[in-house]
Each structure stands twice: as C-alpha cells, then as structure tokens.
C-alpha cells in the first residue's frame, strides 16, 4: 500500500529514513543552542515530564531548511500537492523518566489570529496568548500532520498508539469509541523517520518505561482559506 492510500484508509503512515544521522544531529544542535538558557514563556514549557516549544517554526526558524530537506518536500508534494502551508508546530521532548501520558483524543482545534463569530466555528479558547477554535470537520478532514522523530520511538518510550481508520468517522466523543473491537496500532518510528497522520485519527501516548528520551517535531499543514477574514495565526508558506 502506498503512503497516500494508507493515510486515506488507515489515517496514518510511517516512513523511515527521511533524514540522515547528520541531518538529525544538526536539528538537535540547533534546538539545544536556542533553548539552553530559555525560561518558561507563552511558547516554552518545561517540567520534569515534558519540555515543549509551541510555535516552534517561528521560535527557531533556523531549523526550517533542515526540516524541509528534499526527501520531505518530495513526500509532501507527491502525497498532497504543493499548495499546503504550515499552520502549527510544536517540539516535544519527553525525558527519560517521564510519567507524562496523553489519553485517546482527536486534534480538533486550529490556531487563528482573532475571535470572530462564524457559523460552525465553536469551542473558542485562548492558550499561550493565542486563539484556538474548532472549525467545521471539512477543514480538519483536509489537513494533515507530520511528526519528525529525533530519537527511536517505541512502545516503551511513548510512541503514539492509534485507532486505525477512526479518522473516517467524523468528530465524536472518545467514550463512544469502541476501542475493544477496533484495531489499535502502536506507531514505532526510527530516529530520522516520520509519521504522517490525519487530525481526526484517535491517538494517545503512554508513559515512558525504558528510560529512553523521545524528541518529536510536530507540524500541522493545511491548504485552506478561512472564512470572513479569519487567518491562521502561525501560517508559514513553504519554500519549494
């Protein structure tokens, strides 16, 4: 099954060896050099269980030429076309002894520049000085996420687990998800590999049990214009 077919039917795909060892080490170096003396801010969060950078591509833009190597640009173009842009990015660093876990959920919100009362845009929140809203499901259905793995990720250090094909059922509450009869996959990804997933795919993450670090760059993409003057707050056009 090719990548696009798998994304459409299962809601995700895993592609290893997208980055070389030296490309990954360069990304790690850029991140470490830019975060060494940073303290908690609206976009930086650090605890014993998690270090996260929101608006990552804006906080450390030097990483972008290295993230979008020819391999990744080819993968995006061949699977989705060339009109997609970044709408959100987060860097996650799950330390070796992390007890941080995430229960099953769908990614239902997008980051926007202001609050406007628009039909079918609901559940408005403000987080880290940024507006977030749940858009109509048609917008979410057309978006995709790429997760770039800077470490080997296994079931023992918090690899995502997903419910296959759950993205095709629309938006619904997790308690209505029949997990016991659904197919669950643990998405192990090698260092230098990526996982592509749809926002409506139910996904979760367990605690780390093997004392191994897990660092991931999470980037969300869309090709859609929002209505009534609403704008994606983190919109960044890719340079091809």
User: Which of residues 207 and 96 earns the better pLDDT score?
Assistant: 207
Contacts of 214 by beta carbon, 8 Å cutoff, 6+ apart: 92, 93, 94, 98, 149, 151, 153, 157, 158, 159, 208
Average pLDDT over residues 114-124: 96
What's the N-to-C CA distance of the chain in angstroms?
27
pLDDT tens-digit readout, 65-78: 999 999 999 999 99
Strand 85-94 with 236-237, pairing: antiparallel
pLDDT tens-digit readout, 185-224: 999 999 999 999 999 999 999 888 787 888 999 999 999 9
Measure the CA–CA gap between 237 and 240, rounded to whole angstroms: 9
pLDDT tens-digit readout, 139-158: 999 999 999 999 999 999 88
Give buried/exposed letters for 53-84 (b at 16+ CB in 10 A, else e): bbbbbebbeebbeebbeebbeebbeebbeeeb
Give yes or no for a contact between 230 and 114, defined as CB atoms under 8 angstroms apart.
yes
pLDDT at 178 over 90: no
User: Which of residues 227 and 128 earns the better pLDDT score?
Assistant: 227
Q: Which of 41, 154, 162, 176 is nearest to 107 (CA)?
A: 162
Give yes or no for a contact between 163 and 104, defined as CB atoms under 8 angstroms apart.
yes
The CATH number of the structural domain formed by 3-237 is 2.60.120.620
What is the residue-wise DSSP string for 168-188? GG-S--GGG--GGGS-EEE--
What's the pLDDT at 41?
Answer: 61
What is the pTM assigned to this prediction?
0.92
Average pLDDT over residues 52-72: 94
């Amino acid at each position: 099954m090719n990548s696009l077919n798998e994304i459409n039917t299962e809601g995700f795909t895993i592609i290893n060896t997208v980055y070389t060892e030296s490309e990954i080490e360069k990304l790690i170096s850029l991140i470490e050099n830019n975060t060494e003396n940073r303290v908690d801010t609206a976009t930086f969060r650090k605890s014993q269980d998690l270090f996260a950078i929101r608006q990552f591509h804006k906080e450390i833009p030097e990483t972008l030429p290295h993230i979008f190597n020819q391999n990744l640009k080819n993968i995006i173009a061949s699977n989705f076309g060339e009109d997609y842009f970044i709408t959100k990015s987060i860097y996650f660093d799950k330390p070796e002894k992390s007890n941080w876990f995430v229960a099953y959920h769908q990614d239902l919100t997008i980051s926007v520049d202001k609050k406007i009362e628009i039909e079918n845009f609901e559940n408005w929140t403000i987080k880290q000085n940024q507006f977030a809203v749940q858009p109509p499901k048609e917008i979410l259905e057309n978006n995709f996420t790429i997760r770039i793995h800077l470490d080997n990720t296994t079931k023992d250090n918090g690899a995502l687990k997903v419910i296959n094909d759950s993205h095709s059922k629309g938006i619904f509450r997790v308690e209505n998800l029949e997990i016991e009869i659904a197919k669950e996959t643990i998405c192990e990804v090698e260092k230098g590999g990526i996982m592509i997933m749809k926002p409506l795919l139910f996904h979760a993450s367990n605690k780390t049990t093997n004392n191994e670090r897990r660092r991931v760059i999470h980037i969300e993409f869309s090709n859609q214009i929002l209505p009534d003057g609403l704008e994606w707050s983190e919109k960044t056009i890719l340079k091809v």
